Amino acid sequence: MRTVIQRVSKASLFIDGIEKGSIGRGLVVLAGFGRNDTEHVIDVVVRKILKLRIFEDTEGKMNHSLLDVSGGLMIVSQFTLYARTEGGNRPDFLEALKAPESKILFDKFVETFRTLYEGHIIAGEFGKHMLVEIHNDGPVTIILNIENERRV
């Protein structure tokens, strides 16, 4: 599973030209699933994201997590995180999990966040074309790549 985690001052999500929701200070998580991923990786990744200390304390050090700051959370499915570009100029996505299985894992990913986090959560719709407006804060962007067998 691959995720791109961005600390934001605010973000909005539009689907079919209609605003689905927005968050203030918090995280935008772009999530992609590889063809070998199973739901076993989800709990590990969700807990890691919730505990990542990437929000600044009063001294300007990154000492606080999303849990600490009670920030908003936006979750968006993004299979393009598995793009391969070695073979030419057009990326292939052969390493990405197929859509039906990926939707199941994405839904489980969102459900796990909703179970473990009581803050404001906005989730994209799997397979839809979305417009995501992100005001990256810092900027702080973390790439988290977790394989099923690896624990963090």
Residue 64's beta-bridge partner residues?
55
Strands (E), 61-145: 62-64, 72-77, 121-123, 130-145
pLDDT in tens, 48-104: 999 999 999 999 999 999 999 999 999 999 999 999 999 889 999 999 999 999 999
pLDDT in tens, 96-148: 999 999 999 999 999 999 999 999 999 999 999 999 999 999 999 999 999 75
90-104 burial, b if ≥16 CB within 10 A, otherwise e? eeeeebbbeeeebbe
Q: Which residues contact 75 (CB under 8 A, 6 or more apart)?
A: 29, 31, 109, 110, 113, 121, 122, 123, 124
Q: Among this protein's residues, is 79 annotated catalytic?
A: yes
Structure tokens at 9: 């001052």
Contact present, 67 and 51 (Cβ < 8 Å): yes
Rounded to 5 degrees, what are φ and ψ at 116?
Answer: -95, -10
Runs of H (alpha helix) within 80-142 = 99-116
Q: Among this protein's residues, is 58 annotated catalytic?
A: no
Q: Among this protein's residues, is 3 annotated catalytic?
A: no
The CATH class, in words, for 2-145 is alpha beta
The pTM score is 0.94
Rounded to 5 degrees, what are φ and ψ at 150?
Answer: -90, 135
- From the candidates 6, 78, 109, 113, give the one annotated as an active-site residue: 78
- From the candidates 79, 106, 109, 113, give the one annotated as an active-site residue: 79
